[in-house]
Amino acid sequence: MNKTRHFIVIGNPISHSKSPDLHAAFAQQVGIDICYNRQFCPNDFESFKAVVEAFFGGGGVGANVTVPFKEMAWQLCQGHISQYAQAAKAVNTLFIKDNKLYGDNTDGRGLVNDLQQKGVALKGKTLVILGAGGAARGAVLPLLQADVAHLHIANRTIQKACELACLFNNIKTNTQQITYSDLASLPRDIDVIINATSIGLSNERLSFDCTINAKVAYDMMYGRPSAFLAFFDKQNSQCFDGLGMLIHQGKLSFEMWTQKAVDLRGLGFDGCFAPQ
């Protein structure tokens, strides 16, 4: 018998989340019966812990975690986490493994998988990531594993960019250089520039020197007009928003939870961007 498996995405706010639709499509493709709900939670650790415990205590199979709970989820797993969650100090995927709550972070691998599916080469390239928050932290290890030659991390608070760069400087990869700066001092010739700041969620915008040249611009944000992509679109960069990253991180979570492989072709999801 095909027993219904229960999943949730926990966030605050959460009503906008596309995850239930994504996972419903994945489940339909692989032929299993799921119930995937949006779960609002008050923004404090005790409430988050109570929601997670009630869900898994009641037989829930897997939970996605979104803003602002990824760091709390990392704390809750108490070291029972993947190398990606450890590097990011943030968890977006929860399930029970060896009778204990286990945390992974699929955001960074989702980003890399999306770039690769879009035909964007990373190996040997110069890549700039703007931001040093949870999303940027999650992206660094998968980007290094994709063998970028030079990774530059730029952040408004330079100290955080410095800390993030230093965290990975001792990890053995094929990347030759990890550098950092504030947002005003970027390398001139960039293969791929990724916006991992949350500035697009406010009315502010990043300003760039017009001499900056990037072959590809990728905004992790999706579903809103992007001033970042509008700037690079005018520079004739190839532009992508973060919808594909969302789809790929969800695919990875789903496959971990169900042990069933999803084929994104033919599911009708398509990455697109809306310049401002």
Q: Annotated catalytic residue: which of 70, 125, 215, 251?
A: 70
Near ligand NAP in 167-196, by CB under 6 A = 196
Instruction: Considering the complex, state which of residue 109 and residue 125 has its C-beta at the smaller distance from ligand NAP.
Output: 109
Instruction: Considering the complex, state which of residue 161 and residue 190 has its C-beta at the smaller distance from ligand NAP.
Output: 161
Beta-bridge partners for 152: 128, 179
Angular region, 274: left φ>0, alpha ψ -120 to 50, beta rest:
beta
What one-letter code names the amino acid at 76?
A: L
The token pair at 32 is 């299993």
- Least Å distance, CB 43 to ligand NAP, is 13
* Residue 204 within binding range of ligand NAP, rule CB under 6 A: yes
Q: Which of 19, 249, 253, 258 binds ligand NAP (CB under 6 A)?
A: 249
Question: Contact 73/94 with Cβ under 8 angstroms?
Answer: yes
Q: Which of 76, 112, 120, 246 binds ligand NAP (CB under 6 A)?
A: 246
* Residue 154 within binding range of ligand NAP, rule CB under 6 A: no
Look up 97 and say whether it is catalytic.
no
For the chain, helix (H) and strand (E) counts, in that order, are 9, 11
* Residue 155 within binding range of ligand NAP, rule CB under 6 A: yes
Question: Contact 238/217 with Cβ under 8 angstroms?
Answer: yes
Question: Contact 248/263 with Cβ under 8 angstroms?
Answer: no
Near ligand NAP in 97-136, by CB under 6 A = 107, 131-136
* Residue 245 within binding range of ligand NAP, rule CB under 6 A: yes
* Residue 221 within binding range of ligand NAP, rule CB under 6 A: yes
Residue 22's nearest CA partner among 266, 223, 219, 254 is 254
Q: How would you class 205 by CB atoms within 10 Å of its CB: exposed for 0-12, middle for 13-18, buried for 19 or more?
A: middle
Residue nearest to ligand NAP (CB): 133
Instruction: Considering the complex, state which of residue 41 and residue 199 has its C-beta at the smaller distance from ligand NAP.
Output: 199
Question: Contact 91/73 with Cβ under 8 angstroms?
Answer: yes
- Distance from the Cα of residue 55 to its chain's centroid: 23
Q: Which of 41, 192, 220, 229 binds ligand NAP (CB under 6 A)?
A: 220
Residue 139's nearest CA partner among 180, 86, 84 is 84
Q: How would you class 121 by CB atoms within 10 Å of its CB: exposed for 0-12, middle for 13-18, buried for 19 or more?
A: middle
Q: Which of 199, 216, 229, 239 binds ligand NAP (CB under 6 A)?
A: 199
Instruction: Considering the complex, state which of residue 32 and residue 206 has its C-beta at the smaller distance from ligand NAP.
Output: 206
* Residue 65 within binding range of ligand NAP, rule CB under 6 A: no
Instruction: Considering the complex, state which of residue 178 and residue 245 has its C-beta at the smaller distance from ligand NAP.
Output: 245
Rounded Cα gap, residues 227 and 192, in angstroms: 17
- Least Å distance, CB 100 to ligand NAP, is 25
Q: Which residues are catalytic?
A: 70
Site residues (CB under 6 A) for ligand NAP? 67, 107, 131-136, 155-157, 160, 196-202, 204, 220-222, 242, 245-246, 249
